[in-house]
Amino acid sequence: MASTRDWFESVAEAQRRARKRLPASVYSALIAGSERGTTVDDNTAAFRELGFFPRVAPGLPPQRTLATSVLGQEIAMPVIISPTGVQAVHPEAEVAVARAAAGAGTAMGLSSFASKPLAEVVDANDKTFFQIYWMGSRERVRQILDHAAAHGAKGIILTLDWTFAHRRDWGSPAIPEKLDLRAMLKLAPEVLGKPRWLRDFARAGGPPTLSAPNMALPDGPAPPFFGAYVEWMTTATPSWEDVAWLRRQWEGPLLIKGITHPDDAVHAADAGADAISVSNHGGNNLDGTPASIRALPGVVDAVGDRVEILLDGGIRRGSDVVKALALGARAVMVGRAALWGLGANGEAGVANVLEILRAGVDETLVGLGKASIHDVGPEDVLLAPGFTRAPVHD
């Protein structure tokens, strides 16, 4: 665990410390939002529009119930790690995040584009879900599913909410295809200005490798990160028939990530999904998409109890988690918050962020006079007129 000096008390402080510690291009990749950033900003702003009416003297037990389950995995609190791409902000990357999640008693989502092999992450946290994109042919997708099964993934997260929008007003970070001498010389000025970050990688044996070990063909080497990326980007988008086919290939739990439209939630349930995540890819998909929390009530109304409903996007406090639960989510997924913790202080920083969220959930339950996360509902939040967003139908 971190020393008192290294401990921080908010996700906002984790972000500040990550910005101070990381090279500029590395940090900028963690705050990415498509185009003008309307959606990435609204993901957090929407939570500020939601309020509570506190209750007093409720006679609560000394310990509140925060435990729940997601995709058949028992977790100690309603927060799991959202799959995010190469986490080379720290030498231990996804393994450090997985260990921190395991220590907090919760699950890990691992991206297809992770920098660490699935087997290593599963060793660190046996509650690991493997995230995939639809890429290549159906046979290629089947190979990825076989890889997930062979290495112990407890479930699949099929991510459908990214169109690779790269026209960003804030400027996209320059990420080299490989860290050869030429690339390192180009990046040297900003890296040399961050000696602690450079020291950590030097102690770990050198700079991060830009490969995608979980995207290797059977018995083949790990492809370069951008090689795998191009394979995905040049694949036609899947249909709901393709999703139903994938469901038939995978015997374990399946979560579909990237739902904001209620009709898509119905399609996902019809295709056999066990769970969905109301998500706009952290504001990295189509800019102008509503904040996830604004879309959540419409999705809940559309599918009810047919599937488990999660939410990701904009979670910065335990009170945000409770707001999502009150509007119908079973749990939330966190991406940037965990990465800022990782950038600020490695595994201990991720553990710090998860403890901030856990404590915040508990404190919010006390304020609401609730003994359990399963007791919160719409009556516990102040929902201003016009807060939710729904598509217009004729």
The number of angstroms, rounded, from the C-alpha of 236 to the middle of its chain's C-alpha atoms is 24
Choose among 392, 267, 320: nearest CA to 49: 320
**Distance separating alpha carbons of residues 81 and 60, to the nearest angstrom:** 29
Pairing of β 108-110 and β 155-159:
unpaired
Contact call for residues 151 and 119 (beta carbons, < 8 A) = yes
| Half-sphere exposure of residue 70: CA atoms within 13 angstroms, side-chain side | 33
| Buried-state track 249-273, b at ≥16 Cβ within 10 A, e below 16 | ebebbbbbbbbbbbebbbbbbebeb
Residue 125: name the closest of 351, 382, 380 by CA: 351
Looking at the DSSP assignment, which residues form a beta bridge with residue 256? Answer: 158, 276
Q: 90 an active-site residue?
A: no
Antiparallel, parallel or unpaired: β 68-70 and 308-312? unpaired
Measuring CA to CA, which residue among 85, 107, 64, 106 is closest to residue 282?
85
What's the rounded Cα separation, in Å, for the pair 385 and 365? 24
Residue 3 burial by Cβ neighbours in a 10 Å radius (0-12, 13-18, 19+): exposed
Find the catalytic residue in 90, 151, 267, 281. 281
The number of residues making up the chain comes to: 394
Strands 275-278 and 308-312: parallel
CA-only gyration radius of the chain, Å: 20
Task: Count Cβ atoms below 10 Å from residue 205 Cβ, excluding itself.
Answer: 7
The conformational region for residue 293 under phi > 0 = left, psi -120 to 50 = alpha, else beta, is: alpha
Place of tokens 């918050």: 337
Q: What is the largest CA-CA distance in the chain?
A: 65
Q: Which of 331, 264, 372 is nearest to 109 (CA)?
A: 331
Residues catalogued as catalytic: 281
